[in-house]
């Protein structure tokens, strides 16, 4: 999954490493910039008189290490991460409360005696909770020193903006109420609230989760334990529910090689079909069913669709009598919007012009570096001349050994100056080239993000996307991953894929045909009931239809489509027995093509965000 990290840069890097080890893709977007403050004059005396130091964050441990050289003072840390940070900084007596501020207060009561001296609480300028107030009743004297400050970002980091615009996030993490509040405010200010609908927010505590309710997240989940590990555990629990793509995600077991007939499951079908009645029983059942359907048909005939009324009055001469289900009314096809070819061509020209301009800037920088190197080459040539004259000076002209020693010193000095000048020229050229290369890489990544958004819109509308895909052609060079994604999208580019809306609109007719095929067998009564089932829909719908029957799976698949979950619907349809699967084959092929294209576009967006982060790491600060 793609996980947004909103922690300050140092903590974000450590969390990103843990996420990568679990197979996730981190997107670092710090909402705060930390600055260590100078300790007040009274801090040293207070630290010497304190019996222990309380730490409620890893940043507090770092600030304490910079403010004092003493490492033997007992440390009581709020959690394991804070304790590990303090130990890594050299503090020798560290105990973790493995929880939140309340757990730390309990550890203080258990380990310390209020009569043995005051406590020091090292914190930031902004503090959540009232740790001293919690321990006042127990007689503890706590002095708080703010040794660092977390300054809020004025705007949403560029990496977060790009990921939200490209719909390239699955999870967002929040480790404090302040971080959650800041994120909600910055997202609303950037106009990206709607982009949170597909994201699950995971907060370290219920207090941190509350500010997130203002945004339309898919879900807001507080961690069961208020620790970093607790947040990672919640992410691990989300994996089966959030994975996107055409992988099977059925919530029902796959049918065996000899599936039990649906009629053998009691209470799952509104029409009870008894097999093995014989010819006479089948004939009686057929007469009763025909009479019921005929009466209902005569009453409801004026309300039937035109195709059904035509079928009732008589077959159309050109139509074959067998495909009754094919005559079911199809969903209305909305007119295909016209493609603004001029706008697409203009976008392509602008993209190519921007890339050409950046390449010219790189070449100009190289020329500038070469010219600067030329100036240094002149100085170096002059130094070489002086060196050559000195080295070729005859020994007879030297009056004393003192002159020889002075000349040797001057020669060594000139050689050092030559080496320094050459190194400086190389460093200047390298710095200019690296800066322009980063600018070019950032521009390419931004272009890929924009193209991914256009492709996603094309998939949602069901339009061809060959022109949009062509915009990636100038960017594919030297990028094997991008080339692989473009190659995967190429087969569907000219025609496009069926949209989620159209797949959902076509599904009821497909489900009706599949259910009719499932009920029909070789007996006369079964065939008649199957055809009647195809004309008059008696199928139950909804997510709550229980069981593993064909009808239950079709109902759950339709409910999934109505919520936009095409992958789950496809997984359920693929578990149907062979007989009803014939009616769903064409629809399933269109759905698989849609999922494959959507998966490729999601990969493109994630790849673009990764490129942006590697090309411009400073954008996340």
Two tokens, residue 79: 């959690």
Average pLDDT of span 286-315: 63
- In the sheet with 94-96, reading across from the earlier edge strand, the strands are 32-36, 142-152, 119-124, 52-55, 75-77, 94-96
pLDDT value, residue 492: 85
pLDDT value, residue 556: 84
Question: Phi and psi at residue 372, in whole multiples of 5°?
Answer: -60, -40
Q: Yes or no: say if 611 and 163 are a contact pair by the CB < 8 Å rule.
A: no
> Does 67 or 265 have the greater pLDDT score?
67
Alpha carbons 314 and 355: distance in angstroms, whole number: 65
Same domain, 90 and 223: no
Average pLDDT of span 119-128: 83
Write out pLDDT tens, residues 361-397.
Answer: 555 554 554 554 444 455 556 656 655 665 565 555 5
Alpha carbons 128 and 447: distance in angstroms, whole number: 41
Average pLDDT of span 585-598: 89
The number of domains in the chain is: 3
Same domain, 87 and 228: no
Q: Which of 123, 150, 177 is the last residue of a domain?
A: 150
Does residue 111 form part of some domain? yes
Say what percent of the chain tops pLDDT 90: 11
Half-sphere exposure of 175 (CA within 13 A, CB side): 23
Alpha carbons 249 and 298: distance in angstroms, whole number: 44
Average pLDDT of span 587-615: 83
Write out pLDDT tens, residues 327-352.
Answer: 344 444 444 444 455 655 665 566 55
pLDDT tier at 74 (50, 70, 90 boundaries)? very high
Alpha carbons 91 and 75: distance in angstroms, whole number: 8
Does residue 593 form part of some domain? no
Write out pLDDT tens, residues 248-293.
Answer: 444 434 443 334 444 444 444 344 444 444 555 666 666 676 667 6
pLDDT value, residue 343: 57
Question: Where in the sequence is the domain holding 105, given as residue range(s)?
Answer: 33-150
Write out pLDDT tens, residues 34-66.
Answer: 888 888 988 888 888 898 999 888 888 888 988
Q: Which segments of 330-377 are extended strands (E)?
A: none
pLDDT tier at 183 (50, 70, 90 boundaries)? very high
Is a pLDDT exceeding 60 seen at residue 247? no
Q: Which of 116, 150, 184 is the last residue of a domain?
A: 150
Query: What is the 8-class DSSP label of residue 396?
Result: G
Q: Yes or no: say if 513 and 534 are a contact pair by the CB < 8 Å rule.
A: yes
Does residue 86 form part of some domain? yes
Mean pLDDT score across all residues of the chain: 74
Q: Domain of 170: which CATH number?
A: 3.40.50.10090
Alpha carbons 500 and 575: distance in angstroms, whole number: 21
Q: Which of 117, 134, 150 is the last residue of a domain?
A: 150
- The candidate with the shortest Cα–Cα distance to 589, out of 505, 522, 497, is 497
CB atoms within 10 A of CB 230: 17
Which 3 state secondary structure label does DSSP give 32? strand
Does residue 452 form part of some domain? no
Same domain, 128 and 44: yes
Strand 142-152 and strand 32-36: pairing? Answer: antiparallel
Q: Yes or no: say if 212 and 174 are a contact pair by the CB < 8 Å rule.
A: yes
- The candidate with the shortest Cα–Cα distance to 59, out of 15, 1, 123, 16, is 123
Does residue 173 form part of some domain? yes
pLDDT value, residue 210: 92
Alpha carbons 244 and 169: distance in angstroms, whole number: 11
Long-range own/partner contacts, residues 422-430 (CB < 8 A, 24 or more apart): 422/376, 422/380, 424/376, 425/369, 425/372, 425/373, 425/376, 425/377, 426/373, 428/369, 428/372, 428/373, 429/366, 429/369, 429/370, 429/372, 429/373
Same domain, 139 and 281: no
**What Å distances lie between residue 439 and 27, 111, 257, 351, 558, CA to CA?**
20, 55, 58, 15, 48
- The candidate with the shortest Cα–Cα distance to 181, out of 214, 147, 151, is 214
Which 3 state secondary structure label does DSSP give 562? helix
pLDDT value, residue 554: 84
Same domain, 219 and 275: no
Alpha carbons 361 and 363: distance in angstroms, whole number: 5
With residues binned 3-state (H G I as helix, E B as strand, rest as coil), the percentages for the chain, rounded to 5, are 60, 10, 30
Scan for tokens 């940070």, then name that residue: 85
Does residue 370 form part of some domain? no
Is a pLDDT exceeding 90 seen at residue 217? yes
Q: Which of 39-53, 142-156, 191-205, 232-246 has the lowest mean pLDDT?
A: 232-246
Same domain, 132 and 215: no
Average pLDDT of span 582-604: 88
The CA angle 456-461-465, to the nearest 5 degrees, is 60
CB atoms within 10 A of CB 147: 24
Alpha carbons 308 and 585: distance in angstroms, whole number: 24
Same domain, 100 and 239: no
Same domain, 267 and 224: no
Does residue 555 form part of some domain? yes
Same domain, 164 and 65: no
Q: Yes or no: say if 604 and 455 are a contact pair by the CB < 8 Å rule.
A: yes
Query: Who contacts 89 (Cβ-Cβ below 8 Å, separation ≥6)?
Result: 61, 62, 65, 71
Two tokens, residue 466: 């060959």
Q: What is the pTM of this model?
A: 0.42
Query: Who contacts 312 (Cβ-Cβ below 8 Å, separation ≥6)?
Result: 297, 301, 304
Among positive and negative, which fits the CA dihedral 500, 502, 505, 506?
negative
Top-confidence range, 77-91, 119-133, 309-323, 427-441: 77-91
Helix (H) or strand (E) holding 112: none
CB atoms within 10 A of CB 611: 23
Same domain, 86 and 140: yes
Two tokens, residue 41: 């004059």
Alpha carbons 587 and 569: distance in angstroms, whole number: 11
CB atoms within 10 A of CB 90: 10
Average pLDDT of span 306-319: 55
Alpha carbons 84 and 461: distance in angstroms, whole number: 51
Query: Who contacts 299 (Cβ-Cβ below 8 Å, separation ≥6)?
Result: none
Alpha carbons 422 and 381: distance in angstroms, whole number: 11
Same domain, 162 and 90: no
Same domain, 527 and 507: yes
> Does 567 or 321 have the greater pLDDT score?
567
pLDDT value, residue 171: 94
Write out pLDDT tens, residues 146-180.
Answer: 888 888 888 898 888 988 988 889 999 998 888 99
Dihedral angle, C-alpha 503, 507, 509, 511, nearest 10 °: 150
Is a pLDDT exceeding 90 seen at residue 196? yes
Does residue 223 form part of some domain? yes
Average pLDDT of span 472-487: 80
Alpha carbons 213 and 428: distance in angstroms, whole number: 51
pLDDT value, residue 251: 41
Is a pLDDT exceeding 70 seen at residue 458? yes
Alpha carbons 518 and 520: distance in angstroms, whole number: 6
Q: Yes or no: say if 94 and 28 are a contact pair by the CB < 8 Å rule.
A: no
């Amino acid at each position: 999954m793609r996980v947004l990290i909103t922690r300050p840069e140092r903590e974000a890097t450590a969390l990103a490493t843990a996420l990568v080890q679990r197979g996730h893709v981190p997107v670092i977007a710090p909402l705060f910039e930390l600055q260590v403050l100078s300790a007040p004059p009274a801090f040293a005396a207070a630290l010497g008189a304190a019996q222990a130091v309380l730490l409620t964050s890893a940043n507090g441990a770092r600030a304490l290490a910079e403010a004092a050289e003493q490492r033997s003072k007992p440390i009581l840390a709020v959690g394991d991460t804070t304790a590990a940070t303090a130990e890594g900084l050299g503090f020798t007596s560290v105990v973790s409360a493995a929880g939140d501020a309340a757990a730390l207060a309990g550890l203080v009561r258990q380990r310390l005696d209020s009569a043995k001296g005051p406590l020091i609480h090292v914190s930031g300028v902004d503090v959540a909770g009232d740790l001293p107030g919690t321990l006042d009743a127990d007689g503890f004297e706590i002095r708080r020193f703010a040794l660092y400050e977390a300054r809020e970002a004025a705007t949403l980091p560029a990496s977060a903006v790009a990921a939200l615009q490209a719909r390239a996030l699955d999870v967002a993490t929040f480790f404090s109420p302040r971080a959650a509040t800041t994120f909600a405010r910055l997202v609303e200010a950037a106009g990206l609230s709607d982009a949170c609908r597909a994201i699950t927010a995971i907060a370290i505590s219920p207090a941190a989760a509350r500010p997130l309710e203002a945004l339309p997240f898919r879900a807001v989940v507080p961690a069961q334990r208020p620790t970093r590990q607790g947040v990672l555990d919640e992410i691990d629990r989300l994996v089966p529910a959030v994975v996107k793509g055409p992988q099977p995600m059925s919530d029902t077991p796959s049918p065996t090689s000899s599936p039990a007939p649906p009629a053998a499951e009691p209470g799952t079908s509104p029409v009870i079909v008894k097999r093995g009645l014989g010819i006479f029983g089948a004939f009686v059942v057929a007469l009763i069913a025909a009479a019921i359907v005929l009466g209902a048909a005569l009453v409801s005939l004026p309300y039937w669709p035109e195709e059904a009324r035509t079928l009732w009055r008589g077959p159309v001469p050109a139509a074959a009598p067998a495909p009754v289900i094919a005559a079911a009314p199809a969903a209305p096809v909305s007119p295909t919007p016209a493609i603004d070819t001029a706008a697409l061509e203009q976008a392509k020209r602008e993209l190519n012009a921007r890339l050409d301009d950046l390449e010219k800037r790189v070449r100009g920088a190289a020329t500038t570096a070469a010219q600067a190197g030329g100036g240094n080459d002149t100085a170096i040539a002059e130094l070489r001349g002086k060196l050559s004259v000195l080295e070729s000076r005859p020994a007879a002209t030297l009056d004393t050994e003192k002159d020889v020693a002075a000349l040797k010193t001057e020669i060594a000095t000139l050689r050092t100056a030559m080496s320094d000048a050459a190194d400086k020229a190389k460093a200047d050229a390298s710095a200019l080239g690296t800066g322009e290369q980063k600018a070019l890489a950032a521009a390419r990544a931004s272009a890929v993000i924009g193209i991914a958004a256009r492709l996603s819109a094309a998939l949602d509308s069901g339009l061809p996307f060959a022109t949009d895909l062509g915009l990636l052609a100038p960017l594919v060079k030297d990028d094997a991953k991008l080339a692989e994604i473009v190659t995967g999208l190429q087969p569907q580019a000219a025609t496009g894929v069926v949209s989620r809306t159209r797949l959902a609109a076509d599904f009821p007719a497909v489900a009706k045909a599949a259910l009719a095929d499932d009920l029909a067998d070789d007996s006369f009564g079964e065939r008649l009931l199957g055809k009647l089932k195809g004309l008059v829909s008696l199928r139950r719908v909804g997510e709550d239809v229980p069981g593993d029957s064909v009808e239950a799976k079709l109902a759950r698949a339709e409910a999934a489509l109505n919520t936009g979950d095409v992958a789950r619907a496809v997984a359920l349809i693929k578990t149907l027995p062979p007989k009803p699967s014939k009616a769903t084959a064409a629809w399933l092929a269109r759905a698989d093509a849609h999922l494959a294209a959507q998966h490729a576009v999601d990969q493109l967006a994630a790849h673009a965000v990764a490129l942006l982060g590697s090309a411009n790491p400073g954008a996340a600060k």
